[in-house]
Structure 1
Amino acid sequence: MPNSIKGPFIVTGASGQLGGQVIEALLEEGAEPLVAVTRSPEKLEALRARGVEIRAGDFNDPATLGPCFAGGGRLLIISTDDLAPGKRFAAHRNAISAAKEAGVSHIVYTSLTNPDEVNPIGFARDHRETEASIKDTGISHTILRNCLYADLLLMNGPQAVGAGALYSAAGDGKAGYVTRADCARAAAAALFTETGSSVRDITGPAAVGQADIAAILSEATGKEIPYVPITRDALVAAMVGNGLPEFMADVFSSFDVAIAEGCLNVASGDVEELTGQKGQSVRDFLLANKAVLIGQG
């Protein structure tokens, strides 16, 4: 990634899975000065020896954010994972306000594919309102509308293999599943190189349906894994029966509804445009993780 843009480059959520991979990508590119913001600075002590400045900050505690963003620079706001209605946006709003006050020059934000009013995903509104708040600051920005993680398939994939079928309420819909690693590469590239303001769709190279995924699971395991469509109510009942709280089952089942309604049927070349490398396909990702699918990983 050729770059003439100067930092500091500030990554929030740096102790999370996505944030950690973004930090690694930026280190590989020689981004400096590099600042990692986290609620758990003790988890990132090893990064200090690699020249990363660690700052303690919590989006839910606005008083901590001024010092985190002090000196301005370029800021990556990784969306929080709070599923409670409205709490995610409230936290993001705190971060955006602090960023503006600190004189941040560019904001990169990890959003959601098509977070409009018809999107049934439980937290789509949080992303929609966060995007609007960022635009209202007047600060140049890159909105990364990340589709569903292909990595999620490593959670329900083994369940499907064990059950002998892939059950889903996604109907015949498709989604542009994208790996977390590709999301991290795209976020690092945007933070390190993007100028002006843009909205980018961060997806895999092709949208796939549940029948496609079932066929890949069959190929990976050598077992016949059919796709069995079910209702959302049946999916929620199964999740709750497996110990998931009902409000979480409602949120997770909304992913399937969004797929069924076509909200996530997006496949773009933005990952390649940002990073110079094509995103990994669902098939290649699942075959590379065959051991996980068959319970040996």
Structure 2
Amino acid sequence: MSETILVTGAAGQLAQRVIHHLLETYKVAPGAIVAATRNPEKLAELANKGVLSRKADFDDAAGLEQAFAGIDRLLIISTDALDTPGRRLAQHKAAVAAAVKAGVKHIAYTSMPAPDNSLVTFAPDHLGTENAIKASGIAYTIFRNAWYHDNYMHSMPHNLQGGKWYSATGNGKVANISRDDCALAIAAALASATSESTAYTLTGAVSLANRQIAAIVSEAAGKPLEVVDVNDEQLGQGMRGAGLPGFIADMLVSADANIRAGNFDIVTGDFTKLTGRQPQSLKDFFVAHKATLTAAGSAEGH
């Protein structure tokens, strides 16, 4: 009997790719996969493939325990409840407690690189969740996902239109990785049936500063892009002026500050260790998304 794997946040982009790789890359039987989300009716496509679906609301502790019943391996994908300080950590702790009560054998969790040494506004959520998982007594796999290549797609089309990228990262470097590569590595670990407790930091193969990134974007898009150095306050004001909610602007400013401080300058071989592959380079990612990068009239990233 194969183990049952439950993936939370199953309507979200990362979860969709994890489930895709479980099914297509690692050939896990659809009936051994449970996709869980607040609105299971959104999962009709997965249901058609034979994947089971359950309702899981992170604000409903009793419901979570029900959702996790009979599950061997649980992947908790961090929630998007960032607008209210403390809410996301409370949700994650509720999920860990429900996993203990439900008798889950292994917990996997999507964290971030070096959450204990980070200026990013949501780092305490990740650190607190990691600590709750470690205190649960359940075997665990923690995936510390680096900043996604995909995150640039929110703002780069707009930046390329004006030819300017306002950045507060200074000379700091970041080793981006694609969301799909993170999903591939997570699926590899979930499908491996490992019982040891470990943490992986999933990064790209190279760490890059903003001018190196700008050159790669510029080449892929065939448009010039100049980096304009700004401070945190200027960056935050610009984002708020562009209509971003305050908590999102603060989060993005904190991410730039974290890069500037050198805290995202981490390169590991964990992706290759898990998958046997090389991570997709930023250049290849941008080339693959050239149409989006160069789309006329692209909206400011929200």
**Alignment TM-score > 0.5, same fold:** yes
Measured in 2, the distance between the counterparts of 1:245 and 1:211 equals 27
Q: Aligned-pair RMSD on alpha carbons?
A: 1.4
Q: 2:195 maps to what in 1?
A: 195
The alignment status of 1:239 with 2:239, answered yes or no, reads yes
SS at match of 2:180: helix
Alignment of 1:210-249 (within 5 A): 210-249=210-249
Q: Who is 1:25 aligned against?
A: 21
**TM-score under structure 2 normalisation?**
0.93
Partners of 2:141 and 2:214 lie apart in 1 by: 34
- Does residue 1:104 correspond to 2:100, yes or no? no
- Once residues 53 and 144 of structure 1 are traced to their aligned partners in structure 2, the CA distance between those partners, rounded to angstroms, is 24
2:141 aligned counterpart, secondary structure: strand
What secondary structure, in the 3-state scheme, does the structure 1 residue paired with 2:105 have? strand
Range with greater deviation from structure 2 (214-223 or 17-26): 214-223
Aligned-partner SS, 2:3: coil
Aligned to 1:126: 125
Contact 1:59 1:91 in 2 (8 A): yes
Deviations 1:169-190 (A, max 9, x none): 1111011111110111111111
Which range moves more in the overlay, 121-130 or 211-220?
Answer: 211-220
Q: Is the 8 A contact 1:108 1:190 kept in 2?
A: no
Match for 1:243: what amino acid? G
Give the counterpart of 2:4 among 5, 8, 12.
8
Q: Distance in 2 between matches of 1:76 and 1:53?
A: 15
* Contact 2:5–2:71 under 8 Å retained in 1: no
The list of structure 1 runs, each at least 4 consecutive aligned residues, that deviate by more than 3 angstroms after superposition, is: none
The 2-side partners of 1:166 and 1:160 are apart by 5
Equivalent residue for 1:172?
A: 171
Residues 59-98 of structure 1 correspond to what in structure 2 (within 5 A)?
59-83=58-82, 84-98=84-98
1:152 Cα deviation (Å)?
0.8
Contact 1:9 1:31 (8 Å CA) reproduced: no
- The answer as to whether partners of 2:89 and 2:125 remain within 8 angstroms in 1 is yes
1:278 aligns with 2:275: no
- Partner of 2:155: helix, strand, or coil? helix
Code of the residue aligned with 1:47 in structure 2: it is L
* Aligned-partner residue type, residue 30 of structure 1: K
**Separation in 1 of the partners of 2:45 and 2:149?**
28
- Report the secondary structure of 1:199's partner residue: strand
What is the count of residue pairs matched by the alignment?
A: 292
Is the Cα–Cα contact under 8 Å of residues 185 and 274 in structure 2 kept in the other structure? yes
Partners of 2:15 and 2:222 in 1: how far apart? 35
Matches within 5 A, 1:134-153: 134-153=133-152
Deviation at 1:243, TM superposition (A): 0.6
CA shift, 1:124, in A, is 0.2
Q: What amino acid maps onto 2:219 in structure 1? A: E
CA contact (8 A) 1:7 1:31 kept: no
User: How far apart in 2 are the matches of 1:221 and 1:30?
Assistant: 36
Tell me by how many angstroms 1:222 deviates: 2.5
Q: Which residue of 2 aligns with 1:288?
A: 288
Report the CA distance between 1:45 and its aligned residue. 1.4
Q: Which ranges in structure 1 are unaligned for 5 or more consecutive residues?
A: none
Tell me the secondary structure at the aligned position of residue 243 of structure 1: coil
Name the SS for the 1:98 alignment partner. helix
Amino acid corresponding to residue 204 of structure 1 in structure 2: G
Q: CA deviation at 1:223?
A: 2.7
Q: What amino acid sits opposite 2:23 in the alignment?
A: L
Gaps of 5+ in 2: none
- Residue type at the aligned position of 2:200: R
* CA deviation after TM superposition for structure 1 residue 90, in Å: 0.3
1:203-241 Cα deviation digits (max 9, x unpaired) = 111111111111012212323212121111111111110
Indicate if the aligned counterparts of 1:220 and 1:290 stay in contact, CA closer than 8 A: yes
Contact 1:77/1:110 (8 A) holds in 2? yes
Greater alpha carbon shift after TM alignment, 222-231 vs 128-137: 222-231
Structure 1 letter corresponding to 2:55: A
Report the residue type matching 1:134 in the other structure. Answer: I
User: Percent identity of the aligned residues?
Assistant: 45
Provide, for residues 157-180 of structure 1, a one-character-per-residue CA deviation record: whole Å limited to 9, x for no partner: 112201212211111101111111
